[in-house]
Amino acid sequence: MWVQQERESSNIEIQKILSESAKNILSETKVISNVYEVFMSSVSDVIKLKNLYTVLNEVSLLSESELINAFKLYTNDAIINILKNNFTFNEFRSLYGLLIWLSNNYASYGKIMLDISFDPETNDFQFVNFVIPDCDWNAWRVIAREVKTEMRKSGLSELASKVAIVCLRGLTE
């Protein structure tokens, strides 16, 4: 009984953290939405997105400075630095490829943003969160499954374990 109460308490804390994170991301979304639309229209013209593997091949041509500037459309400098410190350059590049692929394939759910999660006990980096603002609980399950499957098919099995899909509307349902 005590273990179950601890688990429930822990789950509530995690939901609070995710909810607060979501609020921060939503406020940043309003500021950069116009830049995002211009950027995505040009990226869509350059990268014809059929599958994640194709996007990863295109993104492999980007330099580190180009990647960092591109990531700034989706998150802040602090998170970019944490990602750079916790992933190899190839993984960092793959995260951006995944972000582009998600943004194109799930654009109807709003602008996707990046956030990170930390282990509540150790305070160590745990996951990269791809935050989808307008997707409900049912869509969340489908999208998460599709993303993980596509990552595995594209050779990103190890990276898939460090990625979380978070649907903001699904958190409130």
In the chain, what are the domain boundaries? 2-172
Burial track 72-82 (b if 16+ CB lie within 10 A, e otherwise): ebbbeeebbee
Neighbours of 116 (CB within 10 A): 17
CA 157, CA 162: separation in Å to the nearest integer?
10
Q: What is the pLDDT of residues 83-97, one digit of tens each?
A: 999 999 999 999 999
Q: Is the pTM of this model over 0.85?
A: no
What 8-state DSSP symbol labels residue 51? S
Angle, helix 64-71 to helix 89-105, in steps of 10 degrees: 40
- Tell whether the torsion through CA atoms of 84, 90, 94 and 96 is positive or negative: positive
What's residue 9's pLDDT? 58
Q: What's the one-letter identity of residue 128? A: V
What average pLDDT does the chain have? 83
Q: What is the pLDDT of residues 112-151, one digit of tens each?
A: 999 999 999 999 999 999 999 999 999 999 999 999 999 9
> For residue 26, is pLDDT > 60?
no
- Phi and psi at residue 107, to the nearest 5°: -60, -25
Give one DSSP letter per residue of 109-135, joined into a string: G---EEEEEE-TTT--EEEEEEEETT-
- Tell whether the torsion through CA atoms of 2, 7, 12 and 13 is positive or negative: positive
Cα–Cα nearest to 96, from 121, 63, 138, 145: 63
CA 158, CA 5: separation in Å to the nearest integer?
32
What's residue 116's pLDDT? 96
Structure tokens at 5: 């109460």
Q: What is the pLDDT of residues 62-83, one digit of tens each?
A: 999 999 999 999 999 999 999 9
CA 95, CA 156: separation in Å to the nearest integer?
10
- Phi and psi at residue 95, to the nearest 5°: -60, -40
